[in-house]
Amino acid sequence: MSRTKPGQRYALIFMLVSLGLILSPWTFFAYAQDKVRTLRGVSFEWEIANVVRIRPSRQYDLVWSAGLFDYLNDRLATVLLKRMWSWTKAGGTCVIGNFHASNPSRKYMEWCGDWCLIHRTDDDMRQLCRDAGIPAERVTITHEPLGVCVFALLTK
């Protein structure tokens, strides 16, 4: 992705998972707000809302979701992805992350942690994008270095 430019607006959509007493959603947002204050020329708008009910009044240069799609079946993921795409400005980027089907920690997560997620392959991510009406030439599939997560980078 390109460097930030003055006046760009970002929407970050997260599924907050409470692990013990580590962070409450409010502590997370306070921490995140404190960290982005140091970024010059970048505008963040903080909306705390249910992802199903949120109705942004504008479009954004970057719409990013991490830790949410892993919990959504394909039908719900497609509905949300359509909405996120509509929140992305022309020339902007929409990013969705998901645990990859080849996640080497999957069995440990499920057996020991009782943490069952919907893991997706590259093709599954492409299918979500197709089902959401996003043109194939706008979709790039990539992975983080360990290959645990897959990302769909969508350029509008």
User: Would you place residue 1 in the very low, low, confident or very high pLDDT band (cuts 50, 70, 90)?
Assistant: very low
CA–CA distance, 36 with 43 (Å, rounded to integer): 9
pTM assigned to the model: 0.76
| CATH 3.30.70.580 fits domain 1-13+58-100+115-156 | no
Per the prediction, the chain carries an average pLDDT of 80
Please give the structure tokens belonging to residue 119. 């893991």
pLDDT for 7 equals 54
Does pLDDT of 139 surpass 90?
yes
* Cα–Cα distance list, 3 to 30, 32, 39, 147 (Å): 24, 19, 12, 24
Helices and strands (H, E) in the chain, number of each type? 4, 6
Enumerate the domain spans of the chain.
Answer: 1-13+58-100+115-156
Which element (helix H / strand E) includes 143? strand 139-143
CA–CA distance, 156 with 67 (Å, rounded to integer): 22
CA–CA distance, 7 with 126 (Å, rounded to integer): 31
Contact 51, 12 (CB under 8 A): no
Question: At residue 2, what is the residue type?
Answer: S
pLDDT tens for 48-104 read 667 777 788 788 888 888 888 999 999 999 999 999 999 899 999 999 999 999 988
Q: To which residue do tokens 């013990």 refer? A: 20
Mean pLDDT of all residues in 1-26: 45
